[in-house]
């Protein structure tokens, strides 16, 4: 394991996604990932609140700072977090450790729990008494290049 001290991941500019159909709405259509499609009158209204929070009532959007989860989650990306949801091994979680918050993959080995970065330059951390999983990441909203 690399023992270099790295800048911790911080979360800023978070907001609760309320159960309101007017908070986030968007007009969408289709785009081809293969041969080009002609899009004619194929728009629909999409309630983004429902999309991001349908699996869990309490949902939060958080902006990520740092590179410990690259390339999956990059600096400036946003994650949608289902608060209070119990994680399964391999899921990405938001955890409170040492009085701060971090985003990592949740792993379990025998009777021990770990927070694992995607970026090998960062260290895996074992969860201890007092550490807390706040929720599970359900969507990653990538920052535009």
Out of 7, 35, 53, 68, the active site residue is 68
Out of 26, 53, 55, 104, the active site residue is 104
Which residue shows structure tokens 């080995």?
109
104 is catalytic: yes
Contacts of 32 (CB under 8 A, 6+ apart): none
- Cβ-count burial of 44 within 10 angstroms (0-12 exposed, 13-18 middle, 19+ buried)? exposed
Catalytic residues: 68, 104
């Amino acid at each position: 394991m690399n023992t270099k001290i790295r800048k911790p991941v911080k979360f800023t500019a978070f907001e609760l996604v309320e159960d309101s159909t007017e908070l986030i709405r968007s007009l969408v259509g289709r785009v081809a990932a293969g041969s080009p499609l002609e899009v004619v009158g194929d728009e629909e209204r999409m309630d983004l609140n429902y999309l991001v929070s349908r699996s869990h009532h309490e949902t939060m959007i958080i902006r990520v700072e740092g590179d410990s989860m690259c390339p999956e989650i990059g600096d400036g990306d946003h994650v949608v977090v289902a608060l209070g949801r119990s994680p399964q091994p391999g899921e990405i979680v938001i955890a409170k450790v040492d009085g701060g918050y971090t985003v990592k993959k949740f792993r379990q080995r025998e009777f021990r729990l770990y927070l694992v970065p995607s970026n090998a330059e960062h260290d895996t951390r074992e969860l201890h008494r007092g550490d807390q999983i706040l929720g599970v990441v359900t969507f990653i909203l990538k920052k535009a290049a």
